[in-house]
Amino acid sequence: MESQAARLGEILKRQGLTLAVAESCTGGLLGGCVTASAGSSSYFRGGVIAYDNDIKRDVLGVSAENLEKHGAVSGPVVCEMAAGAAKLLGCGCAASVSGIAGPGGGSGEKPVGLVFIGVYCRGQTDSRSFVFDGNRDEVRAQSVAAALDFLIETVNSTADTPQ
Amino acid sequence: MESQAARLGEILKRQGLTLAVAESCTGGLLGGCVTASAGSSSYFRGGVIAYDNDIKRDVLGVSAENLEKHGAVSGPVVCEMAAGAAKLLGCGCAASVSGIAGPGGGSGEKPVGLVFIGVYCRGQTDSRSFVFDGNRDEVRAQSVAAALDFLIETVNSTADTPQ
């Protein structure tokens, strides 16, 4: 995972992009992984750990309507989290994570292991959902890896988009 | 370290305190460790990963004067980071970390391994400094453990302070 983070760092540096994170269920692990690379301060500015929904709303600017209508673990909310983090921290791209790491908190509609990841890059946002197997630690680790992959793909695929 | 975080969680719950973090060199690892405990949402609200000094100033409210005069890796700055995180996230206590994890960035006055940790609890702030041995990963892991210890001590020692 740390080599994936280092690879992301190289791509961000090459493209002159800065990165922010907005984390719920991973609680800071994505930022922790990105900053495992020495020199990450040249592209990583910081992030918001928005574990409580109030923080998602009040600090990241997630709409109360989306939290109410779709729930914190949803595509619309992770898109707003990523865009909010990029705006707050003044970054060209951002990734967000919100999910149910377990062991509690799951439901029929939203089982343990369900994780949404959002990416904001150069003015656009997109989200993906996953259902990961494993315990709490494993769900969180897979979430970090998926966020890094999603960031790498998005940053690469939007490289020709004017900023 | 995760058992230390779980122990902190039990103490916070017993005392009805909520926790925020403000992280520079640990990049989110302290929040990641706190949220390794299932049920941490009952006391942990979130945090700010303030890797860039602009984030320390603009999001956490650290004074430009302290950043200029003492540097980001200093007692006054970690105190302001902790108090700023507690205020922004509406928490009764907060811990902050700022240090030189290496391998670069050290100087004669501030060597690699120098880490300041701040704790805000019930209206008061305090800081401690450490010089940790080891590589980047080891310095960051020791920083997380020291922050958890400092939090546990402070929360316990201020238990009779009126809130």
Ramachandran area for residue B95 (φ above 0: left; ψ -120 to 50: alpha; else beta): beta
Q: How many Å apart are CA B34 and CA A93, to the nearest integer?
A: 26
What's the domain count of chain B?
Answer: 1
Whether residue B48 lies inside any domain: the answer is yes
Whether residue A15 lies inside any domain: the answer is yes
Torsion on CA atoms A45, A144, A36, A158, rounded to nearest 10? -50
- pLDDT tens string B26-36: 999 999 999 99
> CB of A10 within 8 Å of any CB in chain B?
no
Strands B93-99, B114-121: pairing is antiparallel
- pLDDT tens string B36-66: 999 999 999 999 999 999 999 999 999 999 9
CATH assignment of the domain containing A80: 3.90.950.20
Query: Which pLDDT does position B34 carry in this prediction?
Result: 98
Distances from the Cα of A11 to the Cαs of A32, A89, A143, B2, B68, in angstroms? 18, 20, 20, 33, 32
CA angle B9, B87, B27 (to 5 degrees): 65
Per-residue tokens: A47: 């992030």
Whether residue A106 lies inside any domain: the answer is no
Contact A44 B51 (CB under 8 A): yes
> CB of A62 within 8 Å of any CB in chain B?
no
- pLDDT tens string A33-66: 999 999 999 999 999 999 999 999 999 999 999 9
Mean pLDDT, residues B124-145 taken together: 98
- Backbone angles phi and psi of B136, in degrees to 5: -55, -50
Q: Is the pLDDT of residue B162 over 90?
A: no
> CB of B102 within 8 Å of any CB in chain A?
yes
- pLDDT tens string A116-127: 999 999 999 999
Contact A36 B137 (CB under 8 A): yes
- pLDDT tens string B64-111: 999 999 999 999 999 999 999 999 999 999 999 999 999 999 999 999
> Directed axis angle between helix A2-15 and helix A136-157, to 10°?
20
Query: Which pLDDT does position B62 carry in this prediction?
Result: 98
Contact A27 B25 (CB under 8 A): no
Whether residue B28 lies inside any domain: the answer is yes
Query: Which pLDDT does position A161 carry in this prediction?
Result: 58
Q: What is the ipTM of this complex?
A: 0.96
Whether residue A162 lies inside any domain: the answer is no
Task: Provide CB contacts within 8 A for B45, sequence distance 6+.
Answer: A51, A52, A54, A55, B18, B19, B20, B89, B90, B91
Closest-CA residue of B relative to A45 is B52
Q: Is the pLDDT of residue B160 over 80?
A: no
Whether residue B163 lies inside any domain: the answer is no
Residues of B in contact with A23 (CB under 8 A): 28, 31
Q: Is the pLDDT of residue B163 over 60?
A: no
Q: How many Å apart are CA B57 and CA A53, to the nearest integer?
A: 24
Query: Which pLDDT does position A1 carry in this prediction?
Result: 82
Token pair 């902790």 is at which residue? B82
The range of the structural domain enclosing residue A150 comes to 2-101+114-157
pLDDT less than 50: residues of chain A: 163
- Preceding peptide of B103 cis, ω within 30°: yes
Query: Which pLDDT does position B6 carry in this prediction?
Result: 97
Query: Which pLDDT does position B1 carry in this prediction?
Result: 83
- Backbone angles phi and psi of B124, in degrees to 5: -120, 150
Closest-CA residue of A relative to B45 is A52
Whether residue B8 lies inside any domain: the answer is yes
- The verdict on pTM exceeding 0.80 is yes
Task: Provide CB contacts within 8 A for A51, sequence distance 6+.
Answer: A23, A24, A27, B31, B35, B40, B41, B44, B45, B46
Measured from the Cβ of residue B15, the count of other Cβ atoms closer than 10 Å reads 17
Element (H, E) at B17: none
DSSP state for residue B35 in the 8-state scheme: T
C-alpha B44: how far from chain center: 13
How many residues in chain B?
A: 163
Whether residue B60 lies inside any domain: the answer is yes
- Preceding peptide of A103 cis, ω within 30°: yes
